Amino acid sequence: MNDSATVKECKTMNAMVYDDYGDASVLRNAEVPIPDRLPGQVLIDVRASSVNPIDYRMRRGEMKGLLPGGFPRIPGYDVSGVIADCAADGPFSVGDRVVAFLDSMRGGASADYAVAAVDVTAAIPDSMSYNEAAAIPLAGTTALQSLRDHGEIAEGKRVLINGASGGVGMFAVQIAKSYNCHVDAVASGDNEDFCRSLGADHFYNYETTDFTNSAETWDLIFDAAGKSGYWDVKEVLNDGGRYVSTEPDAKGMLMTLVTWPMSKSGTVMLAKPNAGDLRTLITLHKKGQLKITIDAIYLFSQLSQAHQHVEDGVERGKVVLTAE
Ligand SMILES: NC(=O)c1ccc[n+]([C@@H]2O[C@H](COP(=O)([O-])OP(=O)(O)OC[C@H]3O[C@@H](n4cnc5c(N)ncnc54)[C@H](OP(=O)(O)O)[C@@H]3O)[C@@H](O)[C@H]2O)c1
């Protein structure tokens, strides 16, 4: 989306915005002010982003009232690009290649420029493309924090990932394998080969098999798809086991409160932007333990098509937006 003028000469930028809640057609291109970089922040010349279900859920108005401020809104939380402006005494320099998980609740990724706190921004190696990097922040952080912080993953545990072929699940299977766990994956039958290519030891096709009726049991069940609640999976959770869900609805909040003193406990998680976690995921990628599968690539100007694609269901992996 960028033109050749430098950021210091420009006051405005291109962005994809929406002015009211609605379907994907409410997204439009607009000229808006370049965001001000505050102390502790960097300004990123955005090269790529990716679409997450939260983006279309917010656009549809599902989180009405939770977001500060009004319209227009620039959707998106995942950014990769180049530092365009930063503090002279900070950890980054102008021109550094970075990835960021935007920490503003309002998003802001689908634009020529985005601001991010230094502590949610990480350098990316030359071996990682902007498109690969943009796939990581929200989905990768969700998978890592769900397994490590909420699921207390440890070597040798038996782990089940429900929704293993999607944006979050793709990261979760590979992260769990990096802990040397036995990993069972759940997705539609078409994605069996994909899940096994990620390292899954066993596969459940949710169209034909209900893992909650299985004779198997698990130490950690991560419901990345938000499809099987704690009470559905309790019988196949080992004593001392953990259930983690990505669906932060009222039912899930109540479940978290009720089950925390129980031997089999459950929790709903909310991903928290954090540069350290981005660095952990980048290191796994550098070690060859984290492949990033991209389902489709759209231009930023095609954001409504990209949203529609994610709403209709990705085949596998992530939907990425590129500036080129
Ligand atoms: N709480 C948070 O902080 C947080 C952060 C990120 C995401 N999320 C939420 O997490 C969910 C997943 O996000 P995502 O980016 O991974 O979405 P996604 O890319 O659309 O993936 C969805 C996954 O769910 C699978 N699936 C669909 N129906 C299923 C069923 N009945 N049983 C089991 N699996 C099923 C899909 O498999 P097939 O394609 O093979 O059908 C796919 O693997 C979304 O609801 C999102 O809003 C929450």
State the distance from the centre of ligand 1 to the C-alpha of 65, rounded, in angstroms.
24
Q: Which ligand 1 atom is at minimum distance from the Cα of 225?
A: 24
Ligand 1 binding pocket (C-beta < 6 A) is 52-54, 138-139, 142, 162-169, 186-188, 191, 206, 224-227, 246, 248, 269-271, 313-314
Distance 129 CA to ligand 1 centre (A): 24
Tell how far the Cα of 168 is from the centroid of ligand 1, in angstroms: 7
Q: Is 272 helix (H, G, I), strand (E, B) or coil?
A: coil
Burial degree of 152 (CB within 10 A; 0-12, 13-18, 19+): middle
Nearest CA to ligand 1 atom 2: 270
Closest CA to ligand 1's atom 36: 163
Question: Letter for the amino acid at 56?
Answer: Y
Domains of the chain in start order, with CATH, are 12-136+292-322 (3.90.180.10), 139-268 (3.40.50.720)
Q: Give the Cα separation of 172 and 53 in Å (integer).
A: 17
The SS3 assignment for 57 reads: helix
- Among 79, 58, 182, which residue's Cα sits nearest to residue 122? 79
**pLDDT tens for the chain, residues 1 to 324:** 444 446 667 799 999 999 999 999 999 999 999 999 999 999 999 999 999 999 999 999 998 877 777 899 999 999 999 999 999 999 999 999 999 999 988 899 999 999 999 999 999 999 999 999 999 999 999 999 999 999 999 999 999 999 999 999 999 999 999 999 999 999 999 999 999 999 999 999 999 999 999 999 999 999 999 999 999 999 999 999 999 999 988 899 999 999 988 999 999 999 999 999 999 999 999 999 999 999 999 999 999 999 999 999 999 999 999 997
Q: Please choose from 54, 194, 221 the residue to mutate so as to test ligand 1's pocket, defined by most ligand atoms within 8 A of CB.
A: 54
Rounded to 5°, angle at Cα 216 from 215 and 219: 145
* Helices 275-286, 167-178: crossing angle, 10 deg rounding: 70
Whole-number Å distance, alpha carbon 274 to ligand 1 midpoint, is 22
